Chains A and B, each alone.
Chain A
């Protein structure tokens, strides 16, 4: 179990970060998911853990969206009573630029590595802009290497929907990267 979590935690964190765009929330989501997996499925065989963990992770992310929806409803209701100081809202999404600049600040790295980290930065930014379901399907299929059936099970939708989401996501990413002058 420990080895599995150690191997999966980074990808899980990144998935959560793509979804919620907040480092602390992403860490909370990963910790919650790990705790739930350990509590409920510690006795399960190792080969079942990836599917279970992904299901828990995606559900925890969905819970976050639900909470956020409720919160935003209340915020909208009370927004007329609040002073307007939300001009900096778009700054919330600067995390990738931070990560990117972190990567670029390693002066000791060769030029190629710098380019690569910039490319990864752009890619992560593009992934963040994908619609939620497309991103979920694409990451589960290609990054987590789940098959269509497993992905459909985790996402709670049909296999056809998974295929559609994946196809759209792949083409959207390729197009976005092409705009930035990157050919895959």
Chain B
């Protein structure tokens, strides 16, 4: 028997085998098909309405877009605040450090040479 003959006979038998499939499997296949088609139709409808069918502006899609835009805007603002906060905190830290150094200098006993140094006196006069 040639290959195409074998193939055709086997295909025919396999086709007959499809009729013996369990009802539960058939039901699940049907619901899978429906789910795929419904998802697509839902998305298509939403896109269609979102693109504006004569002034139906408040569609689910445009609402969703509004939400996502607001979320993006709020995230950007939050990020700016965070960056500002970090910059402020760093500046504060810096001034604290400067104050600490000044205090240390003022409190510390200066070596005697410092008082003898004319430039130091000039600096103090400033």
Contact = CB atoms under 8 A, between A and B. Distances in A.
Contacts of B33: 2, 5-6, 9, 34
Interface residues of A, number: 41
Interface string A107-131: 0000000001101100110010000
Given A5-B37, A14-B18, A27-B25, A166 B3 contact: yes
Chain A residues touching B, majority SS: helix
Interface residues of B, number: 32
Interface stretch (A67-75, A78-86, A152-160, A168-176): A168-176
A184 B15 CA distance: 15
Nearest to B5: A184
Contact of A102 (B13, B20, B35, B36): B20
B9 interface: yes
A173 B6 contact: yes
B55 interface: no
A24 to B, nearest CB: 9
Nearest to B44: A42
A13 B15 CA distance: 12
A94 interface: no
